[in-house]
Structure 1
């Protein structure tokens, strides 16, 4: 199995969640062993996708360099990771990635338009060798050895529409597109009002998020899945874990996980080389992974 990039460049324009202004995003092919690189065209700054470049995780995963940031990268990265893309240049002309409809479905369509191209270099995958866990009170995120890739997520919210939800994704590209990609981000009306008072979430609307008041969903069309909330948490987790720098084989488990806990998990994983091994994908495992990303 070989490393991949995209066959051709593709672009879209969407609204930035926090500033509410149009953002142009363009994806372009990169050669083998380049990784995922973000580029701010408005300030001429390139930011490689690495855990050490994460500068904020309060409401989204934010990377930065030399005082310049790119916010809300997780939905796009979730799709890129699900498609098994190893090398990609992502250019934006502002400090955030377009929110689109609050899911990663638009980015799946963009990647389908761009197409996948194989490169002349073996694909590298990280195999989890030891349990790695970050725990804060009842909340935790955990990686553990497994012959497959699964995402097992549980959430609890004291809200009548959400309450406790759990979902397990047995990962393949197709299961991701069918079960996860369309799940939208969500928030509570009082939080949106507070953020707007601080000059944030100016682009947030019922067009790009599921919004709840104290008792119900405000979106007139309702939910895309009965458990859309926990499915979106898996979408976020897949994007956050892409900061590892490659696809991995193992089990991800979370109870009320967050961008912050996911970031701490990637750091904890990478700080000890005994936790993992990087393998070049050949033989029987190659055929299994080829099926997963077909």
Structure 2
């Protein structure tokens, strides 16, 4: 099974969910073993930030990379989720600000962008991380876990005592050997409560949020005129986020991921614990694509 990059560069412009600033995003093809690298083109040095779990140093409502010199690249989880969903290993991401554009609040616009650029295989083996022993992080009634599994699956549950959530399923299980990321996960949007807006904006967050890029909930109802895209869109978006957070490790995981009331901070902590645990994981490659777990066979074909 081979690594993947883009056939050509492609750009999009949007607004940062938390900063409210207009930013331009340009995705470039990259050589094998480059990984995902962000480049702040608005800074004089055009600082490069290679994605790795140790750089996720701000998890307030998103996953944000912060380098030792203070360079920030924020809200990367939806774009990272799209990279994971299409099996893209190597890309240079130029951005003209400190935050990715939120687009419609899901990863579907990024999927469209990547498919429009085109995807090509490269003459280098795709490297997977196979989880060899159970890794778990528990904080009160919240927990996340990685378990050895011959494939990739996600099971998440959320818990909100709120009428809008009580009317919807709060647990979803997806095994990607038989389910499509694009069809079942990519369109699920981020969500937030009206009563949180004042708090977020007082902390410099949520300035770009609106009904066009998030599900907004008042004391009882979803305020978006079109309603939900899935009956369980809330928890499906949590799965979208988790897939993006986990892909910050730089390679597809061969494992079963599960969690309850998890978020960006716990997802990142789980990766760090895994990497620091001797014998918990190993790199694997597959010379014959058919030998790879079934979860990775449905990756969209390279045109």
Scaled to the shorter chain, the TM-score interval is over 0.9
Are residue 77 (structure 1) and residue 80 (structure 2) matched?
yes
Q: Write the distance in 2 (CA, Å) between the matches of 1:99 and 1:145.
A: 33
Higher strand proportion, which one? 1
2:52 to 21, 38, 50: 50
2:109 to 106, 111, 117: 106
Q: How many residue pairs align between the two structures?
A: 294
The residue number in structure 2 matching 1:199 is 204
Q: Write the distance in 2 (CA, Å) between the matches of 1:287 and 1:152.
A: 18
Contact 1:105 1:182 in 2 (8 A): yes
SS of equivalent to 1:211: strand
Q: CA deviation at 1:145?
A: 0.5
TM-score, normalising length: structure 2 = 0.94
Contact 2:73 2:100 in 1 (8 A): yes
Q: Give ranges in structure 2 of 5+ residues lacking alignment.
A: none
Contact 2:156 2:260 in 1 (8 A): yes
The residue number in structure 1 matching 2:181 is 176
1:61 to 60, 63, 72: 63
Contact 2:153 2:255 in 1 (8 A): yes
Q: Which moved more, 1:52-61 or 1:181-190?
A: 52-61
TM-score, normalising length: structure 1 = 0.96
Contact 2:180 2:298 in 1 (8 A): no
Contact 1:172 1:293 in 2 (8 A): no
Contact 2:73 2:99 in 1 (8 A): yes
Contact 1:82 1:173 in 2 (8 A): no
Q: Which moved more, 1:250-259 or 1:197-206?
A: 197-206
Contact 2:152 2:295 in 1 (8 A): no
Contact 1:37 1:47 in 2 (8 A): yes
Q: Write the distance in 2 (CA, Å) between the matches of 1:12 and 1:193.
A: 29
SS of equivalent to 2:180: helix
Q: Write the distance in 2 (CA, Å) between the matches of 1:109 and 1:208.
A: 16
Q: CA deviation at 1:289?
A: 5.8
Q: Write the distance in 2 (CA, Å) between the matches of 1:197 and 1:220.
A: 27
1:100-249 alignment runs, 5 A limit: 100-163=103-166, 165-171=170-176, 175-249=180-254
Q: CA deviation at 1:117?
A: 1.0
Give RMSD over aligned pairs.
Answer: 1.5
